[in-house]
Structures are given as structure tokens and as C-alpha cells.
Amino acid sequence: MSKSVVFEVDVMFGDCDPAGIVFFPNFSKWMDASSLNFFMQCGVPPWRELVKTSGIIGTPLLEIHTKFMQPATYGERLQIHTCIVEWRDKVFIHEHRVQRGSDLLCEGRETRAFCIRHPQHPERMKAIAIPEHIKALCQ
């Protein structure tokens, strides 16, 4: 396991669809923001800084799996509870629980890898072994 960090989101009118509820890809956007916030709260610099010292450009997604239990709408404040539930050699698994107070609205798992620019093909990315010092910061 890892630290658990909470990220808050105020749902905007423009986040909602013609059914009047949050358009579901926004939950993925917020989980992504909560992932970055998790690392920054653990003491990892934002990607635009980290790339200068380590070449790491971020943690792109390999896979997402999300369940939607209850809708949300504009004017509501949500909390995203984020942690890392598994570290493998080259990937890690984020878990995000989107809550409105104690109500669980949505639950997601992301598989991500730390990536650098591919040495030969800079337009591509290349996964690297999970940096030990970053892993240590998150625990």
C-alpha cells in the first residue's frame, strides 16, 4: 500500500451533459488530476520540473477500469481518495474512490508506467523501471 491523498473537485455546469449529470469521462480527468496531486503531495515535483532532472515526462496510462455507482451534478463538491495499491517492476496500480462526503460515486483503477522519451525515437515514449526514490516518497 501507499499513502492516501484526497483531492477535491467542485463540479462545474460545463462538466455536465444533457442528462444534467457529470459526463463520465470527467471522472477520468479528475482521477488523473488526483494522481498528479498524489505525487506532488508526496514530494515529487510536477512533470515539467521532473523532466529536467530525470528525463521522466509523466506516468501515461496503460489501462483504466472504472465503475459508476451514482451520478453527481454541478454545484457539488467531490473528494477523490487516491492511493497506490500495487507496485510491479515497470507499472503501478492507482486506486481512486470518488466520494461526495460518505457516498461513493465512482471507483477506478489505473495502470500507469513512468516514462521517458525514447532515446532513438523522441516522438515515442519508453517505460522505465519504477524509480526507487519516488517509490520511497509515496510510502
The least distance separating a copy of itself from the CB of residue 115, rounded to whole angstroms, comes to 9
Residue 4: in which H helix or E strand, if any?
A: strand 4-10
| Residue 34 to residue 8: CA distance in whole angstroms | 8
Q: Give the nearer residue to a copy of itself in terms of CB position, either 123 or 132.
A: 123
| Residue 32 to residue 18: CA distance in whole angstroms | 24
Q: Give the nearer residue to a copy of itself in terms of CB position, either 10 or 103.
A: 10
Question: In this structure, which amino acid lies at residue 88?
Answer: R
The least distance separating a copy of itself from the CB of residue 130, rounded to whole angstroms, comes to 19
Query: Are 85 and 97 a contacting pair, CB within 8 Å?
Result: no
DSSP state of 124: S
Q: Give the nearer residue to a copy of itself in terms of CB position, either 56 or 130.
A: 56
Side-chain-side CA neighbours of 24 within 13 Å: the count stands at: 10
Q: Give the nearer residue to a copy of itself in terms of CB position, either 30 or 84.
A: 30
Q: Is 89 a catalytic residue?
A: no
The least distance separating a copy of itself from the CB of residue 111, rounded to whole angstroms, comes to 9
| Catalytic annotation, pick one of 10, 15, 17, 32 | 17
- The residue ranges that bind a copy of itself (CB under 8 A) are 10, 12-14, 16-20, 23-26, 28-30, 32-33, 36, 40, 46-48, 57-58, 60-68, 71, 73-75, 125
Q: If we measure between CA atoms, which residue out of 108, 125, 124, 107 comes closest to residue 116?
A: 125
Catalytic residues: 17
